Amino acid sequence: MLDMIFQAGVVGAGGAGFPTHVKYKAKAEVFIVNAIECEPLLRTDRYIVETFAPEIAAAALRVKAHLGAERAVIAVKEHNAGMVDALRRAVEGKAIELYLSPSVYPAGDEQNLIHCVTGRVVPTGGLPLDVGCVVSNAATVYQVYEALQGRPVTDKVLTIGGAAQNPMTVSAPIGTPLSLLPDLAGGPVGDCVYIIGGPLMGRVVESLEGEVVTKTTGGLLAFPRDAAILSQKDGDLQREARMARAVCCQCSMCTQMCPRNAMGLNVQPHKVMRALAAGNCGLIGGDTNGVWSCCDCGICTYYACNFGLHPSKMMQAYKDRMRKEGVKPVKEVKYQPQGFDTKRLPTARLLSRLDLEKYDADAPFAGTVEVQAVRTPLKMHVGGPDKPVVAAGMAVQKGQLIAEPEGLGARIHASISGTVTQVTGEWIEIRTVT
């Protein structure tokens, strides 16, 4: 099974991009399929689960057996009736449980989900395997099913939404220019910029030039330039430090609302705000290990802070600083979980706070995108870039191997049939034969 997954080039499709054949080289007690679709506005997992629930269930059983797991659990939000119904039919009579989550954010965070399903807490600096768990996104598990049928990863399902005229979900060949997608959804409403990924954890881009669909792309969302969500994602670190120095009152609401802190992982954004604002890291209180457990969900920034500050940015900045200084996390759970259920933020309230309710529209599946050229990145996964095994001028068929990992990584396959027109150290371009 691991060899077939490796041959197919499967990686974590939910965003992490960790090679799946490496993740599954383990033994575990619980295998969790994450169909929560944590980010609002995205509909990719909804389409995949509603359409391919039997295939996901079959792959989950195969992975469960491989891991020697006692339990296989598929987690889904209870309000997504179509997903729940499809999964209930698919798991009937099978040794698979369903975990129905309330519609809260960030319910799909891996450590959050593990705690809800098992009651266990992944320690700071640790992995799900430290508590006997393996977690995979629903789209990844479907790709595992495809891999076991001998079909490699060549396409990615993603949502085109936000301020789009006609939000939709499509399947696009990997390497498709993102600039081609907005027009498929009728174009943006007004003068917009884009977020690649989800609205909360995705990245803002002024232009789609040079941006392409990868194995981990979950969405392309358009937003007017004055949208509240964009102002929350804007700002440089020096400005944030000045604002923290002038405005932060150390109310600690960011820490009180942090779900990772409630799990006992000692994530305290207010102390990092204080330390970076004052230029005195000693003000963190001598215990910086909890910073490593920040998952950048953004609750502290998008919801908790009454002054519109960006504690999550400061947390990531401090984490980067520790990496550069060679600081390593210490595996620990600082204290027993406390008040976790009260830190589960209703998604509806978050959407209201960020003025995203008007964009929370259905995005029905509209088919597969047809393109004449793709530019496939050689690095779409954890690990180094792949090494091309094709050269300019070669004819390739869809699904043919075009790049191999040299260490930790995943194989890459042609997403369209055509001719290789360019090979660089960063990408491979293929054009259809006309």
> In this predicted structure, what is the pLDDT of residue 117?
97
| 8 A C-beta contact, residue 3 and residue 25 | no
> In this predicted structure, what is the pLDDT of residue 245?
85
CA distance 393 to 419: 6
> In this predicted structure, what is the pLDDT of residue 434?
62
Tokens 């870039």: give the residue.
Answer: 385
Both 21 and 134 in a single domain? yes
> In this predicted structure, what is the pLDDT of residue 239?
82
Specify the CATH number for the domain of residue 412: 2.40.50.100
> In this predicted structure, what is the pLDDT of residue 321?
86
The DSSP code for 371 is -
The DSSP code for 219 is E
CA distance 151 to 169: 22
pLDDT, average across residues 375-383: 95
Both 285 and 376 in a single domain? no
Both 43 and 158 in a single domain? no
Look at residues 339, 369, 399 and tell me which one is the last residue of a structural domain: 369
Both 326 and 384 in a single domain? no
Lowest average pLDDT, out of 32-36, 84-88, 137-141, 273-277, goes to 273-277
| Residue type at position 11 | V
> In this predicted structure, what is the pLDDT of residue 95?
97
| Interval 145-202: pLDDT, tens | 999 999 999 999 999 999 999 999 999 999 999 999 999 999 999 899 999 999 999 9
276: confidence class by pLDDT, cuts 50, 70, 90: confident
Reported as half-sphere exposure (CB side, CA atoms, 13 A), residue 130 has a value of 13
CA distance 182 to 194: 10
Both 62 and 127 in a single domain? yes
Reference 141, options 260, 31, 56, 42; nearest CA is 56
Give the three-state DSSP class for 62: helix
Both 136 and 39 in a single domain? yes
% the chain with pLDDT above 90: 83
CA distance 19 to 383: 9
Look at residues 84, 114, 148 and tell me which one is the last residue of a structural domain: 148
Reference 411, options 1, 138, 5; nearest CA is 5
Both 223 and 365 in a single domain? yes
| 8 A C-beta contact, residue 394 and residue 401 | no
41: confidence class by pLDDT, cuts 50, 70, 90: very high
Both 335 and 251 in a single domain? yes
285: confidence class by pLDDT, cuts 50, 70, 90: low
The tokens for 221 are 């969302």
pLDDT, average across residues 412-424: 97
Domain that holds residue 246: 236-353
The DSSP code for 303 is I
> In this predicted structure, what is the pLDDT of residue 205?
94
The tokens for 8 are 């197919």
| Interval 98-137: pLDDT, tens | 999 999 999 999 999 999 999 999 999 999 999 999 999 9
Asked if residue 412 has pLDDT above 80, the reply is yes
The DSSP code for 423 is E
Average pLDDT, the chain: 94
* H helix runs in 29-180, sequence order: 44-67, 81-91, 110-118, 138-148
Both 113 and 207 in a single domain? no
Asked if residue 282 has pLDDT above 90, the reply is no
Cβ-based burial of 208 (10 A; exposed 0-12, middle 13-18, buried ≥19): middle
Lowest average pLDDT, out of 33-37, 268-272, 285-289, goes to 285-289
| Interval 359-373: pLDDT, tens | 999 999 999 999 999
CA distance 103 to 349: 10
Specify the CATH number for the domain of residue 89: 3.40.50.11540
CA distance 252 to 14: 31
Tokens 């987690």: give the residue.
Answer: 75
Both 240 and 196 in a single domain? no
Query: How do the residues of the chain divide into helix, strand and coil, expressed in percent and rounded to 5?
Result: 35, 20, 40
Number of domains in the chain: 4
- Give the full edge-to-edge strand order of the sheet including 168-173: 203-205, 192-196, 219-224, 155-162, 168-173, 365-368
Both 275 and 347 in a single domain? yes
> In this predicted structure, what is the pLDDT of residue 14?
85
> In this predicted structure, what is the pLDDT of residue 47?
97
Tokens 């909804």: give the residue.
Answer: 46
Specify the CATH number for the domain of residue 221: 3.10.20.600
Asked if residue 218 has pLDDT above 90, the reply is yes
> In this predicted structure, what is the pLDDT of residue 284?
72
CA distance 232 to 312: 11
- 150: left (phi > 0), else alpha (psi -120 to 50), else beta? left
| 8 A C-beta contact, residue 199 and residue 162 | yes
The tokens for 206 are 């002024």
| Interval 223-256: pLDDT, tens | 999 998 998 887 677 888 888 888 899 999 999 9
> In this predicted structure, what is the pLDDT of residue 211?
97
CA distance 172 to 154: 9
CA distance 11 to 410: 7
CA distance 90 to 22: 27
> In this predicted structure, what is the pLDDT of residue 242?
84
Both 299 and 362 in a single domain? no
| 8 A C-beta contact, residue 306 and residue 254 | no
